[in-house]
Structure 1
Amino acid sequence: MPTSPAVTTRRVLPGSDRPLGATWDGSGTNFALFSANATKVELCLFDDRGRREIERITLPEFSHQIWHGYLPEVRPGQLYGYRVHGPYAPEAGHRFNPNKLLLDPYALQHSGNLRWHDAMHGYRVGHSRGDLSFDRRDSAFVMPKCVVVDPAYTWGSDRRLETRWPEAIIYEAHVGGMTLGREDLPHKIRGTFEGLADPRTIDRLVDLGVTAIELLPVQAYYDEGHLLEKDLANWWGYATLGFFAPAQRYLTPNGDPNEFKLMVHRLHEAGIEVILDVVYNHSAEGNEMGPTLSFRGIDNASYYMLGDDPRHYYDTTGCGNSLNLSNSRVLQMVMDSLRYWVETCHVDGFRFDLATTLGRQRETFSRDAILYEAIRQDPVLQTVKMIAEPWDTGPDGYQLGNFPPVWAEWNDRYRDNLRAFWKGDEGTMRQLSDGLLGSPGTFDHDGRRPWASVNFVTAHDGFTLMDLVSYDHKHNEANGEDNRDGHDHNLSWNCGVEGPTDDPEINALRDRQRRNMIASVLLSQGTPMLLMGDEHGRTQDGNNNTYCQPGEINWLDWSEDRDHGFEDFVRGVIEIRKSRPHFTEPYYLHDRPDSGAARGAGWLHPDGRAMDTGDWEDPEARSTGLLIQLAGQGSVLLLVNADHEPCSFQLPGDADRVWHRLVDTDSALADPRSNREDRGSVELPGRTLVLLEARDDA
């Protein structure tokens, strides 16, 4: 990149300090950048390939801490970046360096790839393949460039779906992983937004019965240098560098950001909401030893929480830095970003990575933090789905259940209790019972409802469901960290053999355990979430931290020899959940049945009597039944037996009461039409779940 670009003769007008970013008005483009501590801001324009800086223009105005200028005739497609002048004084928190080209935090599109150093020789990630490729001709791409964008898109009648929380069934997925393995798709759209928008992809989600897809980060991010040196990549994407721009790797080679909107549009047409996993707690710039790519060089002291020694960062994310949301302009950036994805891109909700950090004043977390309050009162955002990952790495960072009303939360306690119960651990029934009823011990306050608990047994971070029943230990050697990375406390059980086996008895037990856990998630009060590929046995070969693996280990299997039987079972249980209000009532159920109540729930001992304190406190107890009654809707009885020995359950009610078997994890039954049960008791083999129904009109 030349240090002395051509002297510009372009006419520059003062322009406006609002909105921030590069805004094209049909005649020219207004550029506006926040920096409270800069002394000068230069706008750098590049040729259409991003390889040559052709003009450098000083923004003429500084208003309300915003540097701005208007350039007539600058049109969509123009590549640009910034150089920001000011003191380089780390001891005061300032790290200005005009030699660094910086990305606009409000850019709506990036172009080009980040090259960390000369030794990489132009590393880039293939547009649609997810493969690693090297091209010495790209060696000039030191920094990506920002792109002036016309955000116009013809939405027609499209709108957010606003699916009721009690009816939501979330499918957590990765844009690339969804379709990179689809050989029937055109090569150029595999692994992209367009690949996910393809009707063949969407039909699979519709057929399964999910109501929302929660996408791992799709905002612009780049691969860390230490991963590239090991021929790995940042697969998950939790290193955001542009809160308004879609990640380039999910665009087709022509790089049109409207491809994201097309994906949302088509998913909405199919009745599926789009929820984005967003990372507003930190940026990709890392700690004080990290690269200067955007925020650090624009105004380090404003954008980041600094330590007692301002040369260092106050970090509660484990990623080197934490954004400073107590600064009104940084808060504005996050709010503007959320509104952009909702208003301009029609997104239906967000899952916030390390959301505790977003509610901090350094050591102190508050459920009334300014971001939460801003969202709650915002006329646009107060109606979209908000999901917190309720922890971070800072002091008192675990805040499950402490987020304000209108928020849902990832319930890892539910996950761990469910795993421990079906593994057969002692003393786990009480915790299981709380989770099956929506975890009221955690969420039943301030008018919160069971849907506030997002229930899952697996997620992107950890074992897949197949690996959960196939491995006792993690096997992360491929990550290049000597198997030190990833969780050690997985509460997994390999059923007798570590890894794949041809033993039919072990495989039958593994299949039953998978059915037990997935059925438990789908038949619990609360919001169920499934992990991409769990419905048909996706494995990561025992790797529980595949954040850096860009290959097939992270891809969905579209082959015809996938586990169709398990897929059918999951589809059947989802249909049962949707068709029985016992699982989707928005209110917490009473503690015990009452024939005079509109709704009720009670716990039964296998001998048919109500569970008492001694039953719950028995560490050897692994069998119980949950009876749920709804006036006019009949009753359902969920029976669970996590013991390796069979168990006989006495059915409640009169002898002439007719029960129908809807789900049986031993026989892989999941049929909403049900099968009549003619006996007064039910025999449950070891490690089995059964769901029965008694209809009022039977």
Structure 2
Amino acid sequence: MAISAPTFAPGATLSGDGVEFAVYSQHAARVELCLFDGGDRELCRLAMGRDENGFHRVFVEGAAEGTRYGFRADGPFAPEDGLWFDPAKLLVDPYAKELDRPFVHDARLTLFGKDTADLVPKAVVTRDAPVAIAPPLFRPGGFVYEIAVRAFTKLHPDVPETQRGTVAALAHPAVLAHLKRLGVDAVELMPVTAWIDERHLPPLGLSNSWGYNPVVPMALDPRLAPGGMAELAATVAALHAGGIGVILDLVFNHSGESDRHGTTLSFRGLDNRTYYRHLPGRPGELVNDTGCGNTIACEHPVVRRLILDSLRHFVRHAGVDGFRFDLATILGREADGFTPAAALFADMRADPLLTDRVLIAEPWDVGPGGYQLGNFPAPFLEWNDRFRDDMRLFWRGDDGRLGAFATALSGSSDVFSRHGGTRTRSVNFLAAHDGFTLMDLVSHAVKHNEANGEENRDGHNDNHSWNNGAEGGTADPAVLAARRADVRALLASLFLSRGTIMLTAGDEGGRSQQGNNNAYCQDNAITWIDWSRMDDDLVAHAARLSAIRRRFPALGETRFFTGDGDVEWLTFVGEPMAPADWEAPLAGTLLMLIRTTDAERGGETRLAVAVNRTHAEQALALPDSGAGWTSLLVADRPLAGMIEPRTVEIFVERR
């Protein structure tokens, strides 16, 4: 094969007569391109020329789509100086768009001088296939449904066995029917890019099932998307045809190479100093603002370009509606810490392909000044853990929580109006992949993570949870009824809240993880949704709530209430709430009146939301409306009388 050097772009670029390969390394003395055949045999090593910008590149005439390749980088091996060059290590292209196999952890990946060509996935040269790009289907204020792809369909009885646990399964008619029944506006797919197990998992017989330990940012994991980008694009198109957007959960805060005792797979072996952040003046000490052993240097121009190119790739070639960023404070960290004016944020907003995409931040990390809820720049939406905790504390029965509950229900203006905002950017959620499921929240006072092999030390200890009288599994009908009532009330609180809302897949049907609140390593029945055990009454309740939210636009509104006729806060006897009512330690009842339009019948109307947190029936007097009120959740319910304990009721004013 003849070698020359025409044009340049990072990664592998097909041209009419060959492939150009380019990879960045400022500090490597030499980088080689390694080509492999389909049997994993290394065919040759080709020296790459370095340009003045630190890119190493070579054009291979005759190379074609399907070519398997990797890199080897040579230079000093001096970890104390942040240099990890080891030509024995095969390195994955940071711009790889397809891999020929999943990552598998092995001790050789951590040992200097041990060849890893037989262990490391090979990047595969692909021919990019752009899709038609439409404006995002999802809008702030909508309903996001968080999905772990494998766990969601692994046990689905209607999905063919060959598709279960894959991205393609999300396009199956039975899955689409469930999403449409719930009124989902967008699915948020937990990481689908290729990841590696944390090194402590294989000896325990466990594996990472969430995917938050990636190696390179563009290549889909072959276990989830054996059909590659074409599979993702086809699934996105099917979901779009059903009116459902797609948001990808991406991890740009750390890589699966972990700490200095971790693996050498890509970034570390190519240019550790460039791709990772290090302590000032101590290039051998990795910053660990993520708690995962390393921190991506998102402020570096080369890394910023890689992140932006990755986002463009998923928009251009899959048509996704947007992105959720794990530990997103990292993306805004520059030399002096987090800033809303970070260059990466500005780049995202200015990019023509990205400017209209949905951007969702998990607004914290574990570094100094890492908690940044409310401080991300518009148009970022933000996961709101304050909403989660205030809702949980209220329904658990903690004293003095009524005011915080109402504030959260109204869009958390205390958080999102701080910088002059007039709209909430909150993503309201009660439970997510990380923590208890919604049913486990009301069934366990403490976590039960023994199956994770860390003697229950892992996972959060302060979950604001309760068990309704029995810890975990029980046959007591009274306890089970109380738990279902609490889940119904929690779901109502979520669907009636202002802002974007998020529900984790399976929580609408009472899914349990047996009290495990850190089930990232349970790729088994603990996390797989058992569709045969989904509580259809709870599913129907969630679907009714979603339909109500769609029918009355004020519920999905993002503008803050003004109090000028758009909302009233009343006691159960119909009087305006006084300070003493809000501040009473045991206050547990509230009537919220909302003025809204009615998308089903047209015109203006009012909703009455009655909240009874107490464990006793409470008398409710709805305001006189002339025409009366109709219950939206309970058919033929008497409108005068008692509101059941641990209940949220919704009434619409008749016209």
| Band of TM-score, shorter chain | over 0.9
Structure 2 SS opposite 1:415: helix
Q: Choose which of 586, 607, 613 in structure 2 pairs with 1:642.
A: 613
Partners in 2 of 1:651 and 1:200 — Cα distance? 41
* Separation in structure 2 between the aligned mates of residue 676 and residue 448 of structure 1, nearest angstrom: 40
Mind listing any 5+ residue stretches in structure 1 that lack a counterpart? 1-9, 121-138, 595-599, 664-668
Q: TM-score, normalised by structure 2?
A: 0.95
The alpha carbon displacement at 1:361 in A equals 2.5
Question: Residue type of the partner of 2:388?
Answer: R
* Equivalence for 1:662: 632
**Aligned residues of 2:411 and 2:558 also touching (Cα < 8 A):** no
Report what 1:401 is aligned to.
374
- Look up the match of 2:250: 278
Which residue does 2:309 correspond to in 1? Answer: 336
TM-superposed CA distance for 1:27, in Å, is 2.8
- Over 3 Å counting, the alpha-carbon distance change for 1:256 and 1:326 in structure 2 is closer
What residue in structure 2 maps to residue 583 of structure 1?
555
Displacement of 1:272 in angstroms is 0.8
Give the CA deviation at 1:604.
Answer: 0.7
Q: 1:191 & 1:630 partners in 2: Cα distance? A: 41
**Whole-Å Cα distance in 1 between the matches of residues 108 and 354 of structure 2?**
45
Deviations 1:454-510 (CA, angstroms, capped at 9, x unpaired): 011110001111111111111110000000111111111110011122222111111
- Shift in CA distance, 420/330, structure 1 to aligned 2, threshold 3 Å: same
In structure 1, the partner of 2:3 is 12
Find the aligned partners of 1:630 and 1:109 in 2 and give their Cα distance. 49
Within the candidate set 534, 538, 541, 2:507 is matched to 534
Matching of residue 269 in structure 1 with residue 241 in structure 2: yes
Alignment counterpart, residue 572 of structure 1, candidates 536, 541, 544 = 544
Cα deviation code 1:423-480 (max 9, x no counterpart): 1111110110101111111112556455511011110001111111111111110000
Hey, what does 1:685 align to over in structure 2? 644
Task: Give the letter for the 2:544 counterpart.
Answer: G
Alignment of 1:458 onto 2:428: no
* CA deviation after TM superposition for structure 1 residue 63, in Å: 4.2
Do structure 1's residue 82 and structure 2's residue 71 form an aligned pair? yes
Partner of 1:639, secondary structure, is strand
Q: CA deviation at 1:89?
A: 2.9
The AA in structure 2 aligned to 1:693 is: V
Are 1:199 and 2:173 an aligned pair? yes
Residues 150, 119 of structure 1: CA spacing in aligned structure 2 closer, same or farther, 3 A cutoff? closer
Contact 1:658–1:676 (8 Å) recurs in 2: no
Inter-partner Cα distance in structure 2 for 1:220 and 1:116:
13
8 Å CA contact retained: 1:405, 1:446: no
Cα distance, 1:30 vs structure 2: 0.9
Structure 2 residue matching 1:509: 3-state secondary structure: helix
Measured after TM superposition, the shift of residue 25 of structure 1 is: 2.2
Whether 1:40 and 2:17 are equivalent positions in the alignment is no
Task: Give the AA of the match of 2:651.
Answer: L
Corresponding residue for 1:494?
467
Code of the residue aligned with 2:78 in structure 1: it is A
Greater displacement, 550-559 / 207-216? 550-559
- Inter-partner Cα distance in structure 1 for 2:445 and 2:637: 39
- Matching residue's letter, 1:392: D
The yes-or-no answer on 1:603 pairing with 2:569 is: yes
Change (3 A) 1:118 1:354: closer
> Aligned residue for 1:152?
129
Paired residues, what number?
643
Find out whether 1:58 has 2:47 as its counterpart.
yes
Task: Give the C-alpha shift of residue 187 in structure 1.
Answer: 2.0
Q: How much has 1:532 moved relative to structure 2?
A: 0.6
- Confirm or deny: 8 A CA contact 1:658 1:677 kept in the other structure: no
Question: Which residue pairs with 1:612 in the alignment?
Answer: 578
CA distance in 2, matches of 1:143, 1:384: 34
Report if the CA contact (8 A) 1:165-1:451 is conserved: no
> Shift of the alpha carbon at 1:657?
4.0
State the Cα distance separating 1:606 from its structure 2 match.
1.7
Corresponding residue to 1:209 among 183, 199, 205:
183
Check whether the contact 1:89–1:95 (CA below 8 A) recurs between aligned residues. Answer: yes
CA distance in structure 2 between the partners assigned to 1:689 and 1:601 by the alignment: 17
Alpha carbons 1:180, 1:555 under 8 Å: kept = yes
Q: How far did 1:344 drift?
A: 1.7
Q: 1:160-208: CA deviations, max 9, x gaps?
A: 4433223x11000111011110233322211111122222222211122
CA contact (8 A) 1:606 1:649 kept: yes
Deviation of residue 257 (structure 1)?
3.4
Partner Cα separation in structure 2 for residue 577 and residue 420 of structure 1: 24
Q: What TM-score, normalized to structure 1?
A: 0.89
Q: Aligned partners of 2:637 and 2:459: how far apart in 1?
A: 46
Closer, same or farther: CA 269–475 of 1 in aligned 2, 3 Å: same
Structure 2 counterpart of 1:235, one-letter code: S
Query: Aligned to 1:240, what secondary structure does the other structure show?
Result: coil
The structure 2 residue matched to 1:143, chosen from 120, 123, 133, is: 120
Contact 2:102/2:195 (8 A) holds in 1: no
Distance in 2 of aligned mates of 1:619 and 1:565:
34
Aligned to 1:562: 534
SS of equivalent to 2:219: strand
- Give 1:400 deviation, angstroms: 0.7
The 3-state SS of whatever aligns with 2:129 is coil
What SS class does the counterpart of residue 387 from structure 1 fall into? strand
Q: Within 2, Cα distance between the matches of 1:434 and 1:526?
A: 12
Task: Report the Cα offset of residue 74 of structure 1.
Answer: 0.8
Residue identity matched to 1:66? F
The AA in structure 2 aligned to 1:658 is G
User: What amino acid sits opposite 1:30 in the alignment?
Assistant: E
CA-atom RMSD, angstroms?
A: 1.9
**Structure 1 counterpart of 2:392, which letter?**
R
Residues 104 and 197, structure 2, Cα contact 8 Å, conserved in 1: no
Percentage identity across aligned positions? 42
- One-letter code of the match for 2:149? V
Matched, 1:424 2:397: yes
Contact 2:424–2:560 (CA<8 Å) still a contact in 1? no
**Per-residue displacement from partner, 1:331-366 (whole Å, max 9, x unpaired)?**
111111111111221111111100111111256211
Matched to 1:46, the amino acid is F
Tell me, what secondary structure is at the counterpart of 1:229?
helix
CA offsets per residue over residues 106-129 of structure 1, 9 Å max, x none? Answer: 000111343433799xxxxxxxxx
